[in-house]
Chain A
Amino acid sequence: EAGVTQFPSHSVIEKGQTVTLRCDPISGHDNLYWYRRVMGKEIKFLLHFVKESKQDESGMPNNRFLAERTGGTYSTLKVQPAELEDSGVYFCASARGTTSYNEQFFGPGTRLTVL
Chain B
Amino acid sequence: QKEVEQDPGPLSVPEGAIVSLNCTYSNSAFQYFMWYRQYSRKGPELLMYTYSSGNKEDGRFTAQVDKSSKYISLFIRDSQPSDSATYLCAMSEGAGGTSYGKLTFGQGTILTVHP
Q: Do A and B bind each other?
A: no
